[in-house]
Chain A
Amino acid sequence: MASELRVNTLKDASGNNSVAMSTVTGGVSKSFVNFDMASTTPRDSFNISSLTDRLTGKFTVNLSSAHADANYGCVGYSNSYAADGFTAGMSMGLHSNLEVTSTGSAYAIASFNGSSYVDAKYNSTATHGDLA
């Protein structure tokens, strides 16, 4: 049977390590994804509805449950290389309103190898902030 516990603060049984539920809710990541730009199927993900392949090296990440607004934090990593290894000069565009305007439910990711966009093999991103 499902049950619901309403509480403001969590502590360990000794009464230490207090954490407010607002900190728990606000502190957890709201989504993450690990994917290869050669595919729109993630290796692993949480709260991701789909990946949209826009152009070479450019994807849109779509969330299942949306953030409350477009001001959430987004972190990521890309190896900017189509195979194992990485490209010196690699850079990654995230959540940047470049070509695709970030919304509460989607953001853009781009992988650049210093001279051109590339479908990178290893890409990881995560978002933090309020869900709607």
Chain B
Amino acid sequence: MASILKVDDLRGITAAGNITITSEGGSTTMQLQQGLCKSWIYFEQSGTHEAYDSFNIASITDAGTGRSYPVAFTSNMGNANYSGTIFQSGSATVNDYLYFGNNYTGSFGTKTSASYGVRGYAGTDQDVGDFHVVIQGDLG
């Protein structure tokens, strides 16, 4: 029989931030919270830095050609050690190199629990048409 649970807030009993789910194969369990993506954004770096869609993003700032910093979270991460993966699409130049906030020397891109920077580069700084970023790790 199908079942539906209507609820606004899911919490663990032993620890509020620890809910266990069973794997697809049924042979193991995993923590739901750790598997959840904590933030993502799909934005255009050129022009107005328009975010087409996003999750847990408070703001994104144009820091110059090819540079977007800070990309600020609405709810901060627990530390600066979170994992970020990035991808581009729709760029006029196919061999852009994408850079994800890793303390690029200078005043740009220091990664913190509250924000990170991304950069498009193809020999020189270059605005990337469509920039995609996915963040995983611990929320604060």
Residues of A within 8 A of B (CB): 1-3, 5-15, 18, 21, 24-26, 28-30, 32-34, 43-44, 46-47, 65, 68, 75-77, 79, 84-86, 88-90, 121-122, 124-126, 130-132
Contacts and interface: CB of A to CB of B under 8 A. Distances in A.
B107 interface: no
Q: Give the contact-size bracket for chain B.
A: 35 or more
B123 to A, nearest CB: 7
B34 interface: yes
Nearest to A122: B102
Contacts, number: 135
B6 A8 contact: no
Q: 4 tightest A-B contacts by CB?
A: A28-B35, A131-B23, A44-B81, A130-B24
Nearest to B77: A44
Interface string B48-74: 000000000000000000000000000
Contacts of B93: none
14 contacts: A11-B4, A13-B7, A13-B8, A18-B4, A26-B24, A28-B21, A28-B30, A28-B32, A32-B137, A44-B83, A75-B134, A84-B104, A122-B100, A124-B100
